[in-house]
């Protein structure tokens, strides 16, 4: 009788390799390390944090905060009689943003040190499914092996080849952070989340803004009333919005930029910000060596465990597309790590992911909007609270905006929360928490029966709930 010899398990240097240190990569690496796994993390740039920390979420929101405070200072009646209106340049407010970026990056680097994660700087590419080559900035190379790999390389701005992004007056949403002159006017091509946020920032600095939108309305995924409120607010502040337009060519000149539109219009400004979509950072990974292929936007397909078509390779964050949010990417990283450890992710992203758009004022929503509920033929009612009626908003002079609650007429279940105004991205989480309640706990009556601190912006929920229930009648 012969016995079969067990095949020896290959010896890898690491249990897991994580490519990228943005929120997704950090979430995966921390979860794996805390489970006792030997983890290597590869970061292309000299500092950790990924695009979220260095070019996207953190810098743009820090810029927005500074500009918002500048607007508040210049418009608050308390200071009207005894101060001169202040002006800040883009460079001025970038100094504050740079401090936040450095602080965040230092903090995140300590996570890897504390959890004994091996951090390697350089550009990663696959040799095979278990082997990764790292090319350092000085050209030297290192090869490491790992049992499993998580791709969390993020995304970058989409840059069409017919536009010269090396021109000193033509920017994308990454390079705009290096703006070193003070434009009097700017054209922003692309009126998505990034485009509208930067339109608010530059208009707040007193720059003339032309916002070119390829669609027929701003941020069409939003509740129509919220989208209309943003359009009106931008228009009221002097932003020129051009809908259903697309470019034919861009001319970079020594003293200006000319944008030629397919409709025949020609626009001139001191600089151009092109903000029309993003591309996954997968082109340098040599995916063909492991049998993977990204789509036209550099994105990879994964299953519910964030596993690609190659069993030991996972992908998370912007490289897999929706929802392309820093907050979601961190959780995706944790869930992917669970699948890498146990073969299956024990949790998934919540169905109702909140949207936060950091225009001035902010927009935030969670759940269904009116258009969706109407299409689904769900009998809903609307409760509204105008911020101008709230004592806290009057005290803080943040009276622009409102809260809208959508709820089922019969069951009183909260179906959607939509907020436009200062601190909207914070306010929406109260409604989100109630929507997540099980066993009948999710009803609009909660907001009436509970007691809110007074004065607070949270009081808007009570006002909106009463307003909505007053619309409900019984035959």
Percent of the chain with pLDDT over 90: 80
Predicted local distance difference test score (pLDDT) of residue 99: 87
Q: Which residues pair with 278 in a beta bridge?
A: 157
User: What integer is the mean pLDDT of 391-416?
Assistant: 95
How many residues in the chain? 475
| Per-residue pLDDT reduced to its tens digit, 109-145 | 999 999 999 999 999 999 999 999 999 989 999 999 9
pLDDT > 90? residue 286: yes
d(CA 422, CA 399) in angstroms, rounded, equals 8
pLDDT > 80? residue 421: yes
Residues 114 and 52 in one domain: yes
Residue 9 belongs to some domain of the structure: no
Residue 235 belongs to some domain of the structure: yes
pLDDT > 70? residue 83: no
What DSSP string runs through 381-425?
Answer: EEEEEEGGG-HHHHHHT--SEEEEEEEETTT--EEEEEEEETTHH
pLDDT > 90? residue 80: no
Residue that is last in its domain, among 218, 252, 276:
276
Please give the distance of CA 468 from its chain centroid, rounded to a whole number: 31
CB 154 within 8 A of CB 50: yes
Residue 4 belongs to some domain of the structure: no
Predicted local distance difference test score (pLDDT) of residue 197: 96
Q: Which of 49-63, 64-78, 374-388, 439-453 has the highest mean pLDDT?
A: 374-388
Residues 55 and 152 in one domain: yes
Residues 34 and 127 in one domain: yes
Residues 240 and 288 in one domain: no
d(CA 196, CA 360) in angstroms, rounded, equals 9
pLDDT > 70? residue 84: no
Residues 290 and 143 in one domain: yes
Model confidence band, residue 8 (pLDDT cutoffs 50, 70, 90): low
Residues 367 and 429 in one domain: yes
pLDDT > 70? residue 427: yes
Q: Which residues contact 181 (CB under 8 A, 6 or more apart)?
A: 270, 271
pLDDT > 80? residue 390: yes
Output the known binding site for NAD(+).
190-197, 277
Residues 327 and 373 in one domain: no
Q: Which residues contact 464 (CB under 8 A, 6 or more apart)?
A: 383, 384, 385, 403, 404, 405, 447
Long-range contacts of 5-10 (CB under 8 A, 24+ apart): 10/130, 10/147
Predicted local distance difference test score (pLDDT) of residue 373: 98
Report, in angstroms and rounded to the nearest whole number, the Rg of the chain calculated over CA atoms: 25
Q: Which residues contact 68 (CB under 8 A, 6 or more apart)?
A: 204, 360, 422
Model confidence band, residue 364 (pLDDT cutoffs 50, 70, 90): very high
Residues 329 and 427 in one domain: no
Residue that is last in its domain, among 222, 254, 276:
276
Residues 223 and 260 in one domain: yes
Residues 123 and 210 in one domain: no
Residue 164 belongs to some domain of the structure: no
pLDDT > 70? residue 359: yes
Predicted local distance difference test score (pLDDT) of residue 347: 83
Quickly count: other Cβ atoms within 10 Å of residue 465's Cβ.
25
pLDDT > 60? residue 4: no
Model confidence band, residue 255 (pLDDT cutoffs 50, 70, 90): very high
Residue 227 belongs to some domain of the structure: yes
Predicted local distance difference test score (pLDDT) of residue 30: 97
pLDDT > 70? residue 9: no
pLDDT > 60? residue 161: yes
Residues 22 and 147 in one domain: yes
Domain housing 379? 361-469
Predicted local distance difference test score (pLDDT) of residue 81: 60
d(CA 176, CA 274) in angstroms, rounded, equals 9
What is each CA distance from 264 to 185, 246, 247, 250, 331, in whole angstroms? 21, 10, 9, 13, 46
pLDDT > 70? residue 440: yes
Residue 441 belongs to some domain of the structure: yes
Sign of torsion over alpha carbons 27, 32, 33, 34: positive
CB 381 within 8 A of CB 416: no
Residue that is last in its domain, among 315, 342, 369:
342
Nearest CA to 419 out of 434, 437, 435, 432 is that of 432
User: What integer is the mean pLDDT of 149-176?
Assistant: 96
Residues 453 and 337 in one domain: no
pLDDT > 70? residue 403: yes
Tally the domains of the chain. Answer: 3
User: What does pTM read for this prediction?
Assistant: 0.92
Predicted local distance difference test score (pLDDT) of residue 214: 96
Residue 230 belongs to some domain of the structure: yes
- Residue 447: give its domain's CATH number: 3.30.390.30
Task: Report the chain's mean pLDDT, rounded to a whole number.
Answer: 93
Output the known binding site for FAD.
43-52, 61, 153-155, 318
Task: Show the tokens assigned to 457.
Answer: 């912006």
Nearest CA to 177 out of 97, 111, 112 is that of 97
Least confident range from 10-24, 92-106, 173-187, 429-443: namely: 92-106
Instruction: Please give the helix or strand (H or E) that residue 434 lies within, else none.
Output: helix 424-435
Model confidence band, residue 48 (pLDDT cutoffs 50, 70, 90): very high
What DSSP string runs through 194-244?
Answer: HHHHHHHHHHHTT-EEEEE-SSSSTTTTS-HHHHHHHHHHHHHTT-EEE-S
Residue 251 belongs to some domain of the structure: yes
pLDDT > 60? residue 7: no
Output the known binding site.
43-52, 61, 153-155, 190-197, 277, 318
- Residue 212: give its domain's CATH number: 3.50.50.60
| Per-residue pLDDT reduced to its tens digit, 198-252 | 999 999 999 999 999 999 999 999 999 999 999 999 999 999 999 999 999 999 9
């Amino acid at each position: 009788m012969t016995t079969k010899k067990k095949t020896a398990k290959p010896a890898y240097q690491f249990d897991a390799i994580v490519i990228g240190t943005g929120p997704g990569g950090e979430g995966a690496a921390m979860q794996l390390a805390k489970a006792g796994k030997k983890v290597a993390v590869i970061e292309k740039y000299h500092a950790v944090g990924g695009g979220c920390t260095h070019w996207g979420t953190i810098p743009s929101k820090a810029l927005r905060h500074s500009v918002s405070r500048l607007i508040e200072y210049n418009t608050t009646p308390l200071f009207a009689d005894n101060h001169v209106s202040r002006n800040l340049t883009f460079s001025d407010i970038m100094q504050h943003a740079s401090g936040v970026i450095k602080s965040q990056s230092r903090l995140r680097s300590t996570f890897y040190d504390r959890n004994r994660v091996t951090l390697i700087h350089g550009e990663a590419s696959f040799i095979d499914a278990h082997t990764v080559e790292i090319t350092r900035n000085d050209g030297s190379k290192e090869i490491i092996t790992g049992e499993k790999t998580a791709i969390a390389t993020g995304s970058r701005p989409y840059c069409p080849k017919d536009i010269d992004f090396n021109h000193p007056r033509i920017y994308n949403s990454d390079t705009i952070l290096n703006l070193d002159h003070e434009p009097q006017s700017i054209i922003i091509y692309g009126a998505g989340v990034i485009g509208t946020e930067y339109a608010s920032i530059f208009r707040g600095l007193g720059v003339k803004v032309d916002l070119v939108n390829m669609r027929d309305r701003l941020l069409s995924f939003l509740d129509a009333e919220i989208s209309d409120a943003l359009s009106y607010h931008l228009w009221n502040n002097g932003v020129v919005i051009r809908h259903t337009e697309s470019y034919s060519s861009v001319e970079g000149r020594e003293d200006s930029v000319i944008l030629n539109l397919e409709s025949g219009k020609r626009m001139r400004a001191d600089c151009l910000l092109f903000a029309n979509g993003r591309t996954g950072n997968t082109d340098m990974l040599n995916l063909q060596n492991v049998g993977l292929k990204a789509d036209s936007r550099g994105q990879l397909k994964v299953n519910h465990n964030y596993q690609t078509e190659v069993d030991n390779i996972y992908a998370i964050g912007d490289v897999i597309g929706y929802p392309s949010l820093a907050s979601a990417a961190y959780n995706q990283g944790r869930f992917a790590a669970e699948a890498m450890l146990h073969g299956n992710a024990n949790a998934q992203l919540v169905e109702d992911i909140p949207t936060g758009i950091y225009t001035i004022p902010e927009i935030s929503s969670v759940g269904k909007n009116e258009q969706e509920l109407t299409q689904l033929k769900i009998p809903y009612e609307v409760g509204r609270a105008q911020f101008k009626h709230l004592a806290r908003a009057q005290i803080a002079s943040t009276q622009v905006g409102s809260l809208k609650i959508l709820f089922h007429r019969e069951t009183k279940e909260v179906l959607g929360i939509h907020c436009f105004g200062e601190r909207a991205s914070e306010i929406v989480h109260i409604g989100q928490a109630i929507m997540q309640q099980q066993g009948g706990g999710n009803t609009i009556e909660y907001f009436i029966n509970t007691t809110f601190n007074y004065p607070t912006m949270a009081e808007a929920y009570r006002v909106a709930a009463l307003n909505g229930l007053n619309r409900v009648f019984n035959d």
